[in-house]
Amino acid sequence: MPFMMKRRQLLMTASAATAAALAPRRAFAQQTLDVEMLNRHPEERINMVFYPDIIVAQPGDTLRFIPTDRGHNTVSVDGMLPDGADDWRGGINEEVELNLQVPGFYGYVCQPHVSLAMAGMIVVEGDGKMDNYEAAKSVSHRPRRLQDKFDALFEQIEADGLAAT
């Protein structure tokens, strides 16, 4: 019966519209996220790490790099920031606070431990997030160990479904 089908379709449309109207535009408040700079990974047998080494933020969130252990810093990597995002360069043992506004992919390293592949990624969700994905991913790194680390980070980002709008 065509009439009944039509009515049922209308009901389904109406309930979907109601659900969309009830859903908040942003279901989260602005947050402060911490990344620790550590001599030892808390669970794995890896030395000199950012923990966690992949962190997902929303625009407006604050990210703090905490110098839990000494001898580390955090420095953004050229070519691994979204357009319009500020670069950063922390001193050794310095806590660095970023106010994340621009969606996209941010790569960073610890300078004293570049050779040990101490590196990490920040993913800021939102419109235009994917704009710098390929550019950030295609930056080449030295030494080889750092390249392998960034390759592994991007693999994990893809596995976690973060490389999608």
Instruction: Name the site residues for Cu ion (rule: CB under 5 A).
Output: 48, 72, 110, 113, 118
CB of 91 to Cu ion, least distance (A): 12
> Looking at beta carbons only, is 100 or 110 nearer to Cu ion?
110
> Looking at beta carbons only, is 100 or 114 nearer to Cu ion?
114
Sorted by sequence, the CB contacts under 8 Å of residue 16 that are 6+ apart come out as none
* Residues 136/107, Cβ–Cβ less than 8 Å: yes
CB of 107 to Cu ion, least distance (A): 15
The residue whose two tokens read 């047998």 is: 45
d(CA 140, CA 53): 19
- Token pair belonging to 105: 């992919």
Query: What is each CA distance from 151 to 9, 68, 123, 154, 155, in whole angstroms?
Result: 47, 26, 15, 5, 6
What kind and span of H or E run contains 16?
Answer: helix 2-22
> Looking at beta carbons only, is 113 or 129 nearer to Cu ion?
113
CB of 38 to Cu ion, least distance (A): 9
In the bound complex, which residue of the shown chain has the CB atom lying closest to Cu ion? 110
> Looking at beta carbons only, is 73 or 132 nearer to Cu ion?
73
CB of 137 to Cu ion, least distance (A): 23
